[in-house]
């Protein structure tokens, strides 16, 4: 799944309007490789789905 981040840009974390690949969904949260190159869990309320 691909999602677009709709929050505030934070250096080496997430960039506003950037599309990210969701690696997995764990307990309702998205596991995403962020701008630092590491994967973390993020709440889906900050994203919109652009591709299933």
For residue range 13-52, list pLDDT tens digits in order: 999 999 999 999 999 999 999 999 999 999 999 999 999 8
Torsion of CA 29, 35, 37, 38, to 10 degrees: -30
Measure Cα distances from 36 to 14, 26, 41, 43 in Å. 9, 20, 13, 18
CATH number of the domain where residue 13 is located? 2.30.30
Q: CA-CA distance, 47 to 44, in Å (whole number)?
A: 5
Q: What is the pTM of this model?
A: 0.91
The pLDDT value recorded for residue 37 is 97
- Residue 33 parent element (H or E): strand 29-33
Give the residue numbers spanning the domain of 22.
Answer: 2-51
pLDDT band for 5, please (50, 70, 90 cuts).
very high
Name the domain count of the chain: 1
Of 43, 33, 35, nearest to 16 by C-alpha is 35
The pLDDT value recorded for residue 27 is 97
């Amino acid at each position: 799944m691909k999602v677009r981040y709709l929050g505030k840009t934070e250096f080496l974390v997430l960039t506003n309007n950037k599309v990210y690949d969701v690696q997995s969904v764990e307990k309702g949260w998205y596991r995403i490789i962020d701008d630092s190159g590491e994967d973390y869990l993020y709440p889906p309320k900050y994203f919109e789905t652009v591709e299933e």
